[in-house]
């Protein structure tokens, strides 16, 4: 069976798991649906004659039992956002599996493990890459206790209930880490390239900003006597856009993704508005300028409008540079194979970034249709996954 047909078959097995009526997928981290995804991939690996084990945080590793020495990880995740797509994360896991299967079939002495990392998506608890952060020393137990879902259940409680450790042992003996991922942007498609080699990964600062004013009758309260929290919030949302645009040349971006307005009814002046803000960049100083401008502006708006303003940073991780040697080697490999490519930064975060303190990390992007991701419209060509695998495979064989 060709690599293409095999990958199509594997995607077909996973396609029905966590599928919604509209065709999108909801495979949230540390849920039964994520478990089913992992079980399905483990099932495929069993058929390929491979072995697997789970670590204390619930991450799964597939391998061929080749010794206890240093090994290469090819990893990604199987969870999705609510109403996400089928390619985010899954592409990287199946790419790893394809490569490991080849190694096993050809009885090569190349120690590789496929890593499936838990809860990469932050959409419910606000913390991304939980599984990979925990085993690389990038996440404190206290943060898991603080992070809770809309039902006020903490991530700590969920993990403990499922029998996982919230302070697991660190991962050891890593030689190098690779991840293949859909780009989740439009750059490769616009340039007509099948492959990107990632140079650096942007990281977010996430913050809550809450404006509190007076909740009043919308008919009986004259315009000059109002303390409308939503109008203050609106002013900040547009200012945030400006601060982001000012850093365009440094590739920082700023988004207000959440607006929770109270009481959110026709006939009441809003009394409390909570904004969830995400500011990202590959240049830490540029990103910090956006954060500080936002904090200052929020305080100024509150002062001007007689509102109360509370600001808290929920999470903050550092942008990372990926291994330059590996970038060069992957570029050379692609060149040798005649695969057009470019070196590019990643605007989205990935499990890969948390391994950079432990070993050299290389990352490969493949295009996704119109750059759409975290949506049912998310689509990548399996042929491009095969192309990415060719580069990784050749690199592993010749390095
Ligand atoms: Zn992903």
pLDDT in tens, 75-125: 999 999 999 999 999 999 999 999 999 999 999 999 999 999 999 998 889
Q: Distance, CA 340 to ligand 1 centroid (Å)?
A: 23
Ligand 1 center from residue 124 Cα (angstroms): 15
What is the CA(282)–ligand 1 centre distance, in A? 18
Spatial contact of 38 and 82, defined as CB atoms under 8 Å apart: no
Residues with Cβ within 5 Å of ion ligand 1? 88-89
Give pLDDT, residue 67: 67
335-359 tens-digit pLDDT: 999 999 999 999 999 999 999 999 9
- Tell me the CA–centroid distance for residue 276 and ligand 1, in Å: 21
Within 10 A of 332 (CB to CB), how many other CB atoms are there? 14
pLDDT in tens, 148-182: 888 889 999 999 999 999 999 999 999 999 999 99
CA of 350 to the centre of ligand 1 (A): 6
pTM: 0.85
Q: Ligand 1 centre and the CA of 218: distance in Å? A: 44
CA of 266 to the centre of ligand 1 (A): 39
Task: State the distance from the centre of ligand 1 to the C-alpha of 182, rounded, in angstroms.
Answer: 8
Neighbours of 333 (CB within 10 A): 22
Percent of the chain with pLDDT over 70: 100
Whether the bond between 223 and the residue before it is cis, its omega within 30 degrees of 0, is no
**H helical segments located in 15-89:** 32-47
β-strands 341-346, 195-201 pairing: parallel
How far, in Å, is the centroid of ligand 1 from the Cα of 297?
33
- In angstroms, what is the span from residue 343 Cα to ligand 1's centroid? 19
Q: Which two tokens stand for residue 31?
A: 């849920």
- CA torsion, points 348, 354, 358, 364, in degrees to nearest 10? -30
Question: Quick one: CA torsion of 149, 154, 160, 164, rounded to 10 degrees?
Answer: 60
More confident residue, 67 or 305: 305
183 CA from centroid of ligand 1 (Å): 9
Higher-scoring residue by pLDDT: 260, 127: 260
CA of 363 relative to ligand 1 center, distance in Å = 12
Tell the residue number behind the tokens 């009986």, with chain if given: 220
Which has the higher per-residue pLDDT, 33 or 123? Answer: 33
Tens-place pLDDT, residues 46-71: 999 999 999 999 999 999 987 678 99
Q: How far away, in angstroms, is 373 Cα from ligand 1 center?
A: 9
User: Are residues 168 and 134 in contact, defined by beta-carbon separation less than 8 angstroms?
Assistant: yes
DSSP string covering 230-254, please? HHHHHHHHHHHHHHHHHTGGGT-EE
């Amino acid at each position: 069976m060709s690599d293409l047909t095999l990958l199509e078959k594997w995607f077909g097995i996973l396609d029905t798991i966590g599928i919604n009526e509209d065709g999108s997928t909801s495979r949230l981290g540390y849920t039964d649906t994520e478990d089913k995804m992992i079980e399905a991939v483990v099932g495929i690996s069993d058929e390929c004659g491979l072995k697997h084990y789970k670590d204390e945080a619930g991450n799964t590793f597939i391998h061929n039992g080749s010794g206890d020495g240093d090994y290469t990880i090819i990893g990604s995740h199987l969870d999705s956002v609510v109403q996400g797509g089928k390619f985010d994360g899954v592409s990287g896991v199946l790419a790893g599996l394809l490569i490991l299967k080849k190694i096993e079939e050809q009885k090569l002495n190349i120690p590789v493990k496929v890593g499936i990392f838990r809860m990469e998506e932050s959409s419910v608890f606000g913390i991304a890459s939980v599984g990979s952060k925990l085993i690389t020393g990038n996440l404190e137990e206290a943060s898991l206790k603080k992070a809770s879902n809309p039902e006020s259940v903490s991530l700590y409680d969920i993990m403990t209930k499922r029998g996982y450790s919230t302070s697991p042992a660190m991962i050891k003996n890593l030689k190098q880490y690779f991840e293949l991922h859909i780009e989740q942007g439009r750059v490769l498609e616009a340039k007509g390239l099948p492959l990107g080699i990632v140079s650096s990964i942007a990281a977010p600062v996430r913050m809550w900003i809450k404006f509190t004013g007076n909740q009043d009758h919308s008919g009986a309260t004259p315009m000059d006597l109002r303390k409308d929290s939503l109008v203050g919030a609106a002013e900040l949302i547009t200012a945030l856009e400006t601060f982001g645009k000012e850093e365009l040349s440094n590739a920082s971006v700023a988004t207000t993704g959440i607006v929770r307005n109270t009481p959110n009814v026709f006939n009441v002046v809003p009394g409390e508005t909570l904004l969830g803000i995400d500011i990202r960049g590959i240049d830490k100083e540029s990103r910090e300028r956006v954060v500080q401008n936002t904090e200052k502006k929020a305080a100024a708006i509150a002062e001007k409008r007689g509102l109360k303003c509370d600001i808290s940073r929920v999470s903050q991780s550092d942008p990372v540079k990926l291994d330059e040697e590996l970038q060069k080697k992957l570029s050379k490999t692609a060149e040798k194979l005649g695969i057009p490519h470019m070196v590019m930064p990643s605007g989205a975060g990935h499990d890969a970034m948390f391994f950079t303190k432990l070993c050299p990390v290389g990352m490969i992007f493949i295009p996704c249709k119109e750059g759409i991701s975290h949506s049912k419209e998310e689509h990548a060509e399996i042929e491009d996954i095969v192309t990415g695998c060719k580069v990784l495979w050749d690199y592993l064989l010749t390095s």
